[in-house]
Each structure stands twice: as C-alpha cells, then as structure tokens.
Amino acid sequence: MNSVLKIFSDLFSEKDLKRKILFTFGILFVFRFLAHIPIPGANITALQNLFNSSQILGFLNVFTGGGMENFSLVTLGLGPYINASIIMQLFTKVFPKLEEMSKEGEFGRIKINQYTRIIAIPMCAMQSYGMFILLSKQGIIGNLSPADVLRLVVAMTGGSVLLMWLGELISEYGIGNGISIIIFSGIVAKLPQSFGQTLATVSSQGITNIAIIFTLAIGVVAAVVFVNEATRNVQVQYAKRLRGGRIYGGGSNFLPLRVNMAGMIPIIFAVSLVLLPSFLGNVLVSAKSPQLAEIGRVLTVYFKMGGWIYNAFYFILVFAFTYFYTAVAFNPEDVADNLKKQGGFIPGIRPGKPTSDYLNRVVTRITLVGALFLGLVAVLPNVAQSITGIATLTVGGAGILIVVSVVLETVKSLQSQLIMRDYDAKII
C-alpha cells in the first residue's frame, strides 16, 4: 500500500507527468461530454429501449460508453478507425511499397497513420448511413429529407473523426496510447450501470449464479495479467572483440519473447467483425426482396450473439488475428540481422537465416498458447452467460481484456517515465 501511495506521490510531484495526466483526464472528460450530446432526429427513448432489448447493440454500446444509445456525436465510436487499421495492416502485407514504408521508422509510422485516417473517413460515412437505415427501419428515425440525411451523416462522421483526433492528442501529449485509453474509458463508464443491473437480478437469477460470474471475472483478470506478463527468454551470447589491445563484449543476455505479443489488438479487431453477420442480418431481414430477407433471417438465427456458431466464429477470428498481428509486430529476420550486427548469437544456432528460422519456430509455438488463451477469454463470458442466464454483464471477455491490458500498459508507461526521470536526476 505504501509503495502504491509513493508511486502516486512521485507522479504528481513531477510537473511534466502531472501535466500529462491532467491533460489525459481533460480529453477523457471531453469524450464523455460528447457522448451525451445527441444528434437531432431520433427518438432517444425508443432507441434506448432498442438497445436494452438487443444484446448485440448493447455489446456495441459498451465500447462507446453509451454514445450509441444516446445517438450522440460519437455514436460510431472508434469502430471505423479500427476497421481502417485492419485494412492498412493487410495492405502492408500485400503491397511491397507500404511494407517498406512501415519499416522507415517514425516517418513511415506517420505516413501509415495518415493513410489509415484517410481510409477511416469514407468508412465513417458508410457506417453512418448504415446506422440511419437501421434506425429508420426500426421507426426510431422518421422520414428525413436528403439534406437532413446528409447533415446526419456529416455529424456522425465528424464526431468519429474528432474522436480519432482526441486519441492522437492523448498519445502525443498525454499518457499511454490514446485510442486504447478512449476505448478503455468507454468500457469503464458502463461498468457501474452493468454491475447495478446485475445486482438487481439477485432475486431472479440467484446469488449462486452471480457469484459464479464474479468469480470467473476475477479469474479472467488474474489470467490476463499472468499471460500478458509471461515471456519466453531466449539466451543470447555476445562474441568477444579486441580493440586497441582491450577486449570488449563476451557477455550474455536474454531476448524476451512475450507469449501474448499481440496484446488486446486481436480482440479489438475481432469485435469489429464478429458482429457484422448478425448486424447485416438485422438490416436484410426487413428487405422487400424475399431472397435478401431469407439471407437476413439465416444470418440473424445462426449468428445470434451467444450461440455456438457465433462463439466459434469469434474464437477463430481472435485466433487468426493473434497470429496475424504477431507476424506484423515481430519480424524474426530483422531481429536476427540486428543480433548479427551486434556480434550476438544464440548458443547452438548459426547467425543469419538459421537464427531467423529458430526465432520463427519459437514465436509460432508460444503464440499458439497466446492465441488459444485470447480465444477462450473472448468466448468464456458468453458461455458463462448461457449457463447462468445472466445477460446484464455485457462487458464480456473483450472488455475485461482491454481494461486490464490498458491498465498494465499505462502503469508500465508511467513507471518507465519515473525511472527515466530518476536516472536523469542522478546524472545531473
């Protein structure tokens, strides 16, 4: 307890860190304020009733902190940006020029982010119009003129772009990754309401079922922390070098390979896609064409949230995205080349391609554990809800993983900055 208090004391004793923390909280306050500014034209009461009756929409609403059920300026949240990021990640693997650009350090990262934002804008517009069509079919939005529809689409698109900008401000001037922090704050904002609704069902659901849910939640949090911190240490030996009559190097070190290199990214990617079949089915089910209506009915029935097809699809998406993002984040050839340039080698493995192949095998094996774990975390709450019958905890495994991962990353960021400042102070 004393160590925690000391960390908080050190954080606020540093003016620069204090300014970054206050700036981050200020941006989050703006986000929460935007989530309660409604766009005119919708029946908010009917919209909230729709979200309360639909588990899928309620799940989406969690990631916007209630912005969707309020039909606010940030109704779309960061969904379009996440989808654009997925597209750009795929493009970097398909187009060699983009892959070269992604390896150009800070300049390449800035250019990739610019392209991601450009792709996100038309995706915002398409999702805004799709939201209008869905709510119109539900009778929540009345007949609007083309000019009113255009204004609605522009407002929703502008709100999502503004949210992207706020996230980048946090990344540049605040603490942690801005996009992750905003998603985190949206989930946390809905937790009190979700817990309150769950506790209110004690009489109908039984204390045993609720105890099972909360025990699983605590277990998942502990498991997420354990797996996120787990590493496979690969020993690296450095050759001795003779310069000017003196011997340099010759020591050994470890190359830490994280079991979950992808972090929470696969869950975020999967969430943006797993609900697409059911969402599309809800739109098509009321189509005039019998064929389209039948397709919509099939999608709605078979991809119902919590069903076994939905859970299997969710698990496969998380599993696949874990391997995909790990391949993007960790390049064994680059690591092997850097070790060779620094005079390092893995005992028993020749430098160059054999080292690259060895690292690739190790990463593939440990990623299997991470991918299985992430997939189980994603579907476990849905399975628990189907067993206990408690559907009020809409946060789910995705929300738990995101919250825990963001907290761990932010704490590490703060600790590293404190250590860096202590080191600089000692040098001075």
Rounded to the nearest 10 degrees, what angle do helices 276-284 and 265-274 cross at?
20
How is residue 72 annotated by DSSP? Answer: B
Q: What is the pLDDT of residues 202-222, one digit of tens each?
A: 555 567 766 777 777 787 788
Domains 1-191 and 206-394 share a fold: yes
Q: What is the pLDDT of residues 314-363, one digit of tens each?
A: 889 889 988 888 887 788 888 888 888 877 888 888 888 888 888 899 99
Amino acid letter, residue 214: F
Nearest to 158 by CA among 60, 80, 272, 268: 80
β-strand pairing of 252-258 with 344-345: unpaired
297 neighbors 285 (Cβ within 8 angstroms): yes
Report the pLDDT averaged over residues 374-391. Answer: 73
Report the pLDDT averaged over residues 177-192. Answer: 81
- Which CATH superfamily is 206-394 part of? SecY subunit domain (1.10.3370.10)
How is residue 255 annotated by DSSP? Answer: E
Q: Cβ atoms within 10 A of the Cβ of 207, count?
A: 9
- CA torsion, points 219, 223, 225, 226, in degrees to nearest 10? 140
Its pTM stands at 0.76
Just give the CATH number of 1-191. 1.10.3370.10
Amino acid letter, residue 166: L
Q: What is the pLDDT of residues 51-109, one digit of tens each?
A: 766 656 666 666 665 667 778 888 888 878 888 887 887 788 778 888 788 777 777 88
Q: Tokens representing 248?
A: 């340099």
Helix spans in 95-237 (H): 96-102, 105-137, 146-173, 178-199, 202-205, 207-229
Kindly state the helix (H) or strand (E) to which residue 238 belongs, with its residue range: strand 231-238
Report the pLDDT averaged over residues 390-400. Answer: 61
Q: Can you list the pairs that 292-301 forms with residues at least 24 positions away whose Cβ atoms lie under 8 Å?
A: none
Residue 30, SS3?
A: helix
The ranges assigned to domains in the chain are 1-191, 206-394
Nearest to 395 by CA among 242, 145, 167, 220: 220
Looking at the chain, the whole-number percentage of residues with pLDDT higher than 90 is: 5
